[in-house]
Amino acid sequence: MLVVMTGAGNGLVNGITEGIKDFATNSAFIWTNRTTKPYNGFKQGRSWDFTNKDMDIIRREIPEIEVLAPKLQGWNVSQGENVIRGLKSGSFTVNGDVPEYNFIDPCDMVYGRFLNQLDMKQRRKVCIIGERVYEVMFDKDENPVGKYLKVSGVWFQVVGVFKSRNPNINIGSNKKESIYVPFTTMQQVYNYGEMVHFFGFTAKKGYSVEATSEKVMKLLKKNHYVAPDDDDAMGHINVEEQVKTMSYVFIGINLLIWIVGIGTLIAGAVGVSNIMLVIVRERTKEIGVQRAIGARPSIIVGQIISESVFLTTLAGFIGLALGTLVLHLVDIGLEYAKASQPPNEGTFFAHPEIGVFLALTSLGILIITGIIAGLIPARKAIRIKPIDALRHE
């Protein structure tokens, strides 16, 4: 049970960490909500948005920020069958992005390239598409680079197909079903003006993400006349804090597994101890003979404890082998299931396994429990008087 439960816990940790392993853990995201307090002549319930000017102010006044990535989410251009190519059509999310966003949530390019600074500067009508968009809008193994998609009435040239390295994280939309266009192009083509829906950023090494987020939000509230104590006027996600919380959860899971596992081992030790008590009772006369011919108490104790340790160690080896076999079969099943899924599909459980250290620790615990299990029967055995033991039937 200890081996299987620990392997399952490791499988959970492996599955989650594989799905977020390349995401920038020193990052945070902030967005606007309706104000909940009146301030400086403005009523509560006011809608407001970030703007391009905020980017310059943030870069100038908050040097702790390493990467700043504004983002637009095209809710009004992502409705119905909004993407057309010949006879094919689909409904996908359109996002306005900048090249810097790839430093926060990196991806691999299956075809072509990512968005670059020249696309931004010249407001090019180009786009990169997710894997699902490619599957729907193009034939299998077709190279989409240089082809055109009509996105909400506007033609865009495909310059790349991307595959996320972090399938378990989707900020704002499902990346597989997303189309990324240059941030500046989306502002101009779809009449967003200088609007920014949210910012993603990373803190420089040695700086707290939480403290940096607080400075950014305080600055933006000041720029847009939002009450400093209106905490609900902005939403934010601190990825660094989320990762810490997740690590604490993993520690709690492992602790629970060890508590249950050690409890199981103790229950087994009690069972072995009961068996040894029965054995001592059945061998009372034999123990009496040994004592009568001069056997020291330490010899009797050693015999009983060694037998107890042998039983627990043998059972431990069998349990370790069976537990490892179960984990191996589960891993094979997961690999088979993964092979039948689309590539790069997110998962929350992968490679359940245990290390050599855990196996040796488990065996060590078993030996200790075996010694403890044999102590009570051994003490009972040496308390038997030789004359009483010889009379026992």
What pLDDT score does 178 carry?
A: 92
Tell me what the pLDDT averaged over the chain comes to. Answer: 83
What pLDDT score does 251 carry?
A: 84
pTM of the model: 0.72
Q: Mean pLDDT over residues 334-343, rounded?
A: 63
* 182, containing H or E segment: strand 178-182
Facing residues of 94 across strands? 179
What pLDDT score does 314 carry?
A: 82
Q: Mean pLDDT over residues 78-90, rounded?
A: 87
Percent of the chain whose pLDDT exceeds 90:
42
Q: For residue 10, give the nearest of 242, 321, 251, 337 by alpha carbon.
A: 251
Residue 130 clears pLDDT 90, i.e. is over it? yes
Q: Mean pLDDT over residues 242-258, rounded?
A: 82
Cα gap 356→140, rounded to integer Å = 44
Q: What is the pLDDT of residues 307-338, one digit of tens each?
A: 777 877 787 788 888 888 888 888 787 777 66
* 83, containing H or E segment: strand 83-85
Q: Mean pLDDT over residues 19-44, rounded?
A: 87
Q: Mean pLDDT over residues 107-112, rounded?
A: 93
Cα gap 99→254, rounded to integer Å = 39
What pLDDT score does 384 carry?
A: 66
Banded pLDDT at 148 (limits 50, 70, 90)? very high
Range with the lowest mean pLDDT among 134-143, 156-165, 263-272?
263-272
